[in-house]
Structure 1
Amino acid sequence: MLPVNASADTIKIGSIAPPKNGHTLSLMKIADELREETGGRIDMQVFPLGQLGNERSLCTQVQSGTLEMVSATTSVLQNFIPEVAVIDLPFMFPDIKTAHAVEDDPEFQEKLFSYFGKKGFVGLGFSEDSLRQMWNTKRTIRKPEDFKGLKIRTMNSPIMLETFKALGASPVGIPFPEVYSALQTGVADGVNASYVASTMMKFPEVTKYLTVSEFHMNTPINVANIDWWESLSAEDQKLIKDAFGRATKYNREMNDKVAAHLPPDGKRSVDDYFKDQKVEITKLTAEEREEFKKVLAPVWDVYREKLGNELVDFVVAKVKEHSAM
């Protein structure tokens, strides 16, 4: 089913990312490049911050063919393509450099995207939200039991719900644009989010404690409706896929730039902003991360059964391969 009221030359892509973060800016940049390359024939229109619906709705629209593309986080996309949950396994990646290397690995991309077609999707590449950290309004978090009783905002993701329940927290589902208000009013006590996204959404203004945990990746994946994609010429498919390959690079560069020089004045870094807001920053040691891994081992067991040892072991091997480089 081709998207309603759309030609192959008009592309709408939705996401829930803030308008000024690297995720959105990289999509806007390749949209400009595609217009220039095709003399305006391919017109990609970017709709951030949930303008076309929440993330689950966006994925449903793409799967049904009423929207061409979505840039969806793995936490929500796993409701449609269960295998992408392998990226969200807690503490899968030791650092952002390794995570990027795995995502860029052609064998990893081929393996992961092979699951998309039967669900009505085509994977075009990764966006960037970086590794996620823990923010909360109540107390320092340094060990698993510190989560007990906290209301943690989590995405509509089975693996995230199970992860926070295993830690003794109460997961609450709140749309991302509403998280600031939820933290401010006490509807939520905490949220796990990346440095840049948290800064763009001003979470440090309404939280007091940050735990640098490298908790999980939860990367957005740029996805198209398969019927719409297959209606395109081979030439247009290559133009678009190449553009999304560049978007990954742009996104990472933009996030690094924003982290070092926050808008609007460009005079503060993310770290300076946290200090200005008097956020208490706790960095987990390697030993403390291992304690979390032990508590969360049952979550890994559940997903080994759901996804199969073959896929999980494949990704773990890729992480080890690129960690050694």
Structure 2
Amino acid sequence: MSSKTKSVTAVLIVLALVAGVGMTKAGSKYKTQEKVNLIFANVTSNSAKKAGEKFKELVEEYSDGDITVDLFQDNQLGDDKTAAEGVQNGDIDIAVSSSSSLSTLYKDYYIYDTPYLFLNSQEVYDVGFDGKAAQEMLKGVSKVGLKHMAMWENGFRNYTNNDHAIETPADCKGQKIRTMENPIHLKAWKSIGANPTPMAFSELFTAMQQGTVDGEENPIGIIYSNRFYEVQKYISLTQHVYTPYVVVMNPDKYDSLTDEQQKIIDKAMKEASAYQLEVSAKDEEEGIKEMEKYGCEVNTLTDDQKKEFQKLIEDADVFSLAKSSMEHPEYFDEIQKELTQYREEGK
């Protein structure tokens, strides 16, 4: 066990003792006593942090203080994968993590790494989150010892560079763009004609400043909060990959709660999740305005323009690569069918 893990475990043990969580036996199952304390590990996103605060507030309000939440923001209990593993082993009760960070734990999350599967946020919400196939797929995370609780917004990834606006695939040709070390993303950018270059995030600002790379791609919140606009003049809303946050809970902890407590947790999570989407949309809008004030040029791609990128990606079998990375590729096919129907109905 690493020193970091030991430290986190020690903190959690102390918190559990302070919270005074007891157990009583009811038949063959254990049920928690009236007082319950939840350890909640959260990420660095502003909208996620506000939603975590909202969840804590609602849970404690609805339970009249009988359920309390110890909220750890800014990855204090470890990075996304570490937090999810903490939920698996019971050290942490609830965690928020990027789907990309957890795709090695639950391979069906790879679907959210597929470029231009979704063309806009509403498609994500209605089909990618709440569609029949998506709901089945998300519940499947129980196979790896996690209970699915909600989907939160990390956001669409967008393209920035210091040379020109991106409107067509030809605009990307030969551009050296920093990407994650992700085989699906790498193949997609190569099919478009760019030169994808994996690089540590911590090195990115300096690399763009010095011209080592031409640009990068990230959600608006990350572009704004890391001040990439200071070294990137053009921000093109390509919206090429939608990366969500997933909220997971320890299933044993959830099952130990009374029916009433579970209803409180579910209700608070549903309301906090709706709030998170609202805050995320507002933050993105404000971030774009602030970057425009700074002097950046922001351009929005239409769905028809995105389809030009989508066709190149499909022709290069990037969708097939994403499917082959999943444990249940049939979910990919089913979600695609739902998307086709959704678009035909003009929703």
Aligned residue among 107, 121, 140 for 1:115: 140
Q: Distance in 2 between matches of 1:185 and 1:35?
A: 49
Structure 2, unmatched stretches of 5+, are: 1-8, 22-31
Cα separation, 1, equivalents of 2:215 and 2:124: 24
> Which position in structure 1 is the counterpart of 2:3?
none
| Residues in 2 aligned to 1:144 and 1:299: alpha-carbon distance in whole angstroms | 15
Question: What are the residue-to-residue correspondences of 1:118-267 with 2, within 5 Å?
Answer: 118-137=143-162, 139-144=164-169, 146=172, 148=174, 150-154=176-180, 157-164=182-189, 166-167=191-192, 168-172=194-198, 174=200, 180=205, 183-184=208-209, 189-260=214-285
Which has the larger displacement, 288-297 or 114-123? 288-297
SS in 1 for 2:240: coil
The 1-side partners of 2:237 and 2:197 are apart by: 19
Q: Is the 8 A contact 1:135 1:207 kept in 2?
A: yes
Residue deviations 1:5-42 (CA, integer Å, cap 9, x gap): 24472222223333xx2222112111111112223232
Corresponding letter in the other structure for 2:325:
K
Residues 24-33 or 203-212, more deviating: 203-212
Deviations 1:45-100 (A, max 9, x none): 33233222222222222223322221111111211111122233111112112212
Aligned twin of 1:10 = 37
Residue aligned with 2:331, SS: helix
Please give the alpha-carbon distance, in whole angstroms, between the structure 2 residues aligned to 1:43 and 1:162.
46
Q: How much has 1:127 moved relative to structure 2?
A: 0.9
Contact 1:172 1:188 in 2 (8 A): no
Contact map agreement 2:178 2:204 (CA 8 A) in 1: no
Q: Say if 1:47 and 1:160 are closer, same or farther in 2 by CA, change over 3 A.
A: farther
CA distance in 1, matches of 2:151, 2:229: 27
Q: Distance in 2 between matches of 1:41 and 1:173?
A: 46
TM-score by length of 2: 0.78
TM-score, normalised to structure 1's length? 0.82
Task: Show the counterpart of 2:323.
Answer: 304
Instruction: Name the counterpart of 1:36.
Output: 61
C-alpha contact 2:42 2:52 (8 A) present in aligned 1:
no
Letter in 1 for 2:312: V
Shift of 1:215: 0.8
- Contact residue 74 and residue 218 of structure 1 kept, 8 A: yes
Q: Aligned residue for 2:301?
A: 284
Distance 1:143 1:302, change over 3 A: same
Q: Shift of residue 171 of structure 1?
A: 4.0
Q: Distance in 1 between matches of 2:215 and 2:105?
A: 26
Pair 1:294 & 2:334 matched = no
CA distance in structure 1 between the aligned counterparts of 2:93 and 2:212, rounded to whole angstroms: 35
**1:69 corresponds to:** 94
- Alpha-carbon separation, structure 2, partners of 1:282 and 1:143: 12
Between 1:123-132 and 1:156-165, the stretch displaced more is 156-165
Kindly indicate whether residue 344 of structure 2 is the aligned counterpart of residue 319 of structure 1: no
Alignment of 1:96-115 (within 5 A): 96-103=121-128, 105=130, 107-115=132-140
Mapped partners of 2:301, 2:333: distance in 1: 26
Aligned to 1:55: 80
Distance 1:247 1:179, change over 3 A: farther
Rounded to whole Å, the distance in 2 between the matches of 1:57 and 1:110 is 25
Whether the aligned pair in 1 keeps the contact of 2:133 and 2:331 (CA below 8 Å) is no
Identity %: 21
SS of equivalent residue, structure 2 residue 117: coil
SS in 2 for 1:141: coil
Aligned partner letter, 1:208: K
Inter-partner Cα distance in structure 2 for 1:181 and 1:45? 37
| Aligned mates of 2:296, 2:80 — CA distance in 1 | 29
Equivalent residues of 1:90, 1:163 under 8 A apart: yes
- Unaligned ranges ≥5, structure 1: 261-268
CA RMSD for the aligned pairs? 2.9
Instruction: Count matched residues.
Output: 311
State the Cα deviation string for residues 269-307 of structure 1 (Å, max 9, x = none): 434312222213343344542332233222211223333
Structure number with greater Rg is 2
